[in-house]
Amino acid sequence: MAYLFTSESVSEGHPDKVADQISDALIDNFLAFDPESKVACETLVTTGQVILAGEVKSNTYLDVQQIAREVIRKIGYTKSEYMFEADSCGVLSAIHEQSADINQGVDRASKEEQGAGDQGMMFGYATNETENYMPLALDLSHAILIELANLRRENNEIKYLRPDAKSQVTLEYSDDNKPVRIDAIVISTQHDDFAAEAEMLAKIKSDLISILIPRIKAKYPQYAHLFNDDITYHINPTGKFVIGGPHGDTGLTGRKIIVDTYGGKGAHGGGAFSGKDPSKVDRSAAYATRHIAKNLVAAGLCDEVLVQVSYAIGVAKPTSINVVTYGTSKVNMTDGEISKVIENVFDMRPYFIEQRLKLRNPIYSETAAYGHMGRKSETVTKTFQLPNGAPKTVEVELFTWEKLDYVDKVKAAFGL
């Protein structure tokens, strides 16, 4: 029997995402000047206020206030009527030194024996229902908000948009688990105040359906066939949405972990990513399991896969690695047997994950909005500035866990 599945996304101006982006900007700046930095930074944003807290072990000093303001400005909170503005908001830092008790479990005389920064389990997922091996409902939800942000910055066809927004896409799947059409789309976008509320809501709905949706279809032609005249649209369903961002809701780092990963498909171990350096396996091992999952599907081993890894704090070797192919495996092996082979192909000790995926580089700001997975791996040049110091320019490779660089090794290991 056909069924429905839904995923959501939130924009870069959503208060939780503002917090994530500030936390990851701090990570990038610490790593740019001291790649061995150990950082766990949390951010809270509310009306006119940013509060930074966390633990750091680093040989560099940052102007954390300036970094936070730059992030807020880039997102688009640049007007006083938003009640949260880059130049006027207060920024309080309560960042202190990392606990020596935690650090002793990570650092080792031999780097190869670096222990996991925490206990826990992490999951990676991939499916062949999209070109980037991501769940389709989440991919479309992200795409809607990325294009909405483009429209806001262009300030051309639609001039009233503000930074905060959410989207949601419901797909209908066939009996054989293939997406066949979009059933519903929900978009809530913050906007400037209007004199007449009824006319405002009608205009926003008309603009998003007639301007935004065609741009999505043009930009993602592979999904155009899923759009139809029977889609149910809920555009700002509660009414006007003038008060938003950190003034409308308090934002915290790490509260959008399903948006950050697979939109409810697969599984999640519960650990957030933003604000954590790669010694924290919540982050690095989640990237590594995505890397495994994507390469397994791309190699043709299966159509869909979930990879789990788990750790004990301070211990290098994982306590378990598990692979679930949902009955889509193309080899005559059980999932348990596949798991044993994977252990020999991918070294999941924290140090080797960091080296394989180049995680001790300032690559995290780009992950903090519109998902950590399914993004384009590319090399970019970034510039960082210390207080009263010369700028530092570095070339880094983003989203290394999205590379299909292990496809040949997987094929060889499984005789594909």
Binding residues: 14, 16, 42, 55, 98, 164-166, 240-241, 249, 255-256, 272, 276, 280
Binding residues for K(+), by number, are 42
The helix (run of H) or strand (run of E) holding residue 29 is helix 15-33
Give the separation between CA 43 and CA 32, rounded to whole angstroms: 20
* Token pair 């500030």: residue: 22
Binding residues for L-methionine, by number, are 55, 98, 249, 280
* Token pair 């205009």: residue: 203
Quickly count: other Cβ atoms within 10 Å of residue 222's Cβ. 9
Ramachandran region, residue 275 (left: φ > 0; alpha: ψ -120 to 50; beta: rest) = left
Is-contact 191 200, C-beta < 8 A?
yes
Give the separation between CA 7 and CA 123, rounded to whole angstroms: 18
Binding residues for ATP, by number, are 14, 164-166, 240-241, 249, 255-256, 272, 276
Is-contact 199 229, C-beta < 8 A?
no
Vertex 341, ends 337 and 346: CA angle to 5°? Answer: 140
The helix (run of H) or strand (run of E) holding residue 72 is helix 64-75
Which residues does 170 contact at the CB level (< 8 Å), separation at least 6? 4, 5, 6, 137, 182, 183, 184, 185
Angle between helices 64-75 and 15-33 (to 10 degrees): 130
Residue 347: which of 318, 380, 310 has the closest Cα? 318
Can you tell me whether residue 302 is helix, strand or coil?
coil
Identity of the amino acid at 105: G
Angle between helices 407-414 and 335-345 (to 10 degrees): 130
Binding residues for Mg(2+), by number, are 16
Vertex 58, ends 53 and 63: CA angle to 5°? Answer: 60
**Structure tokens of 184?**
């519903």
Residue 81: which of 47, 40, 31, 57 has the closest Cα? 47
Quickly count: other Cβ atoms within 10 Å of residue 340's Cβ. 12
Identity of the amino acid at 216: I
